Amino acid sequence: MTGPGADAPPDPAAAPRHDMTTGRDNPTATAGQTPATAPPATADDDRRTGARMTDASMTDVSYNGAPEAGLGDYFALLKPRVMSLVVFTALVGLLVAPVPVHPFLGFVAVLCIAVGGGASGALNMWWDADIDAVMRRTKSRPIPAGKTTPGEALALGLALSGFSVVVLFLAAGPLAAGLLAFTIFFYAVIYTMWLKRSTPQNIVIGGAAGAFPPMIGWAAATGDIAIESVLMFALTFMWTPPHFWALALFVKSDYGDAGVPMLTETHGRRSTRRHILAYTLLLVPVALGLGFTSIGGPIYLVIAAALNIQFLGGAWRLYNRDEAAAEADGYAAEKRVFKISLGYLFLHFGALLIEAALRPWGGSWQILSGLVGA
């Protein structure tokens, strides 16, 4: 475009504001203004009350002049990094089940679980666009970066939710589909819209949403729920709080700026360290107990014992650590525990896969007894 003033920066006060619910520009409102019938809203007010921030408080989120969204931007709405853990644990739940699974059914089931997980991520980004714009580590997400609109995220999330549940129902039956539907609802509504901004126990209760995939995979294969699938659920559920609280210890300011009542904000870091140890103590027997079920074995138990000794040792060091020491070394111990937690579930579920792979030869217990007897 050419002509007088073509290169001049636009006046922010004259730019139409974007409605975060509908995804449309509102020509009657300008940056820094709200309708005459409503009092001005500020981000600080919204954060103090724990409410979802309004359009007027999101002054740094603009879609005007933003480049057109590409496929990569829409894929990012699905939270692919989180989806990788969902896919892996669901696949393990399906493969370790004590029944043969047709490869096509297995593929469809895992695909539906992955799509359902992505749908949850899109709905989460739609609702959390206001706080994502505040936190340093989430500012580059598609909505706060101006690459996609909240309306697009909502539409994508709803469409994928319906698709994944219906297809899983047709492929694997009502139990697996019902569990998937409940998981999406729990994450998008119970956790995202309610727990996340209302209680420091958000991670504890909300962690159930991320713990269902192995149970869904098991249900897709067997059509039922068993102690093995319940323990896989419990392993993921009990792992979630210490994993995220370890992260919160060294990214505390991000949650505080966004007004999210993370335990570090409401009870302090000392209390958070105690909670990490407490939940790790609850996690260890669940992890080891899984080794004595039909899907466990000596290989799993050795790997689980090594991992849990390491994780529990890290949690114990955090419990005995004061804030001065943490600040002095840049929260090195906290980052170490978080790093351990990143591989914790993958290695446990990977060990279960190894045990399942040895079943044609009688399983690892029988192989071990044969070696000892020889």
Q: What is the dihedral of CA 284, 286, 287, 290, to 10 degrees?
A: 150
Report, as an integer, the average pLDDT of 353-368. Answer: 90
Where would I find the H helices in 320-331?
323-328
Question: Quick check: 272 and 248 in contact, CB under 8 A?
Answer: yes
The domain segmentation of the chain, as residue ranges, is 227-374
For 135, the enclosing helix (H) or strand (E) is: none
Q: In the chain, pLDDT over 70 holds for what percent of residues?
A: 80
Angstrom distance (rounded) from CA 139 to CA 145: 6
Question: Quick check: 290 and 300 in contact, CB under 8 A?
Answer: yes
- What is the pLDDT, as a whole number, of residue 265? 84
Tokens of 115: 């799509």
DSSP 8-state secondary structure symbol assigned to residue 189: I
CA–chain centroid gap for 95, Å, is: 23
Tens digits of residue pLDDT in 98-113: 999 999 999 999 999 9
Could you tell me which residues come within 8 angstroms of residue 92 by beta carbon, excluding any fewer than 6 positions away?
214, 217, 232, 349, 350, 352, 353
Task: Give the residue with greater pLDDT, 74 vs 119.
Answer: 119
Question: Quick check: 175 and 46 in contact, CB under 8 A?
Answer: no
- What is the pLDDT, as a whole number, of residue 88? 95
Question: Quick check: 167 and 112 in contact, CB under 8 A?
Answer: yes
Angstrom distance (rounded) from CA 185 to CA 189: 6
Report, as an integer, the average pLDDT of 66-72. Answer: 71
Question: Quick check: 42 and 27 in contact, CB under 8 A?
Answer: no
- Per-residue pLDDT for 337 more than 80? yes
User: Identity (one letter) of the amino acid at 160?
Assistant: L
The secondary structure of 61-76, three-state, reads CCCCCCCCCCHHHHHH
pTM for the model: 0.80
Per-residue pLDDT band at 229 (split at 50, 70, 90)? very high
3-state helix, strand, coil in the chain (%, to 5): 70, 0, 25
Tens digits of residue pLDDT in 137-176: 888 899 998 999 999 999 999 999 999 999 999 999 999 9
CA separation, residue 243 to residues 121, 217, 239, 259, 340 (Å): 19, 23, 6, 20, 9
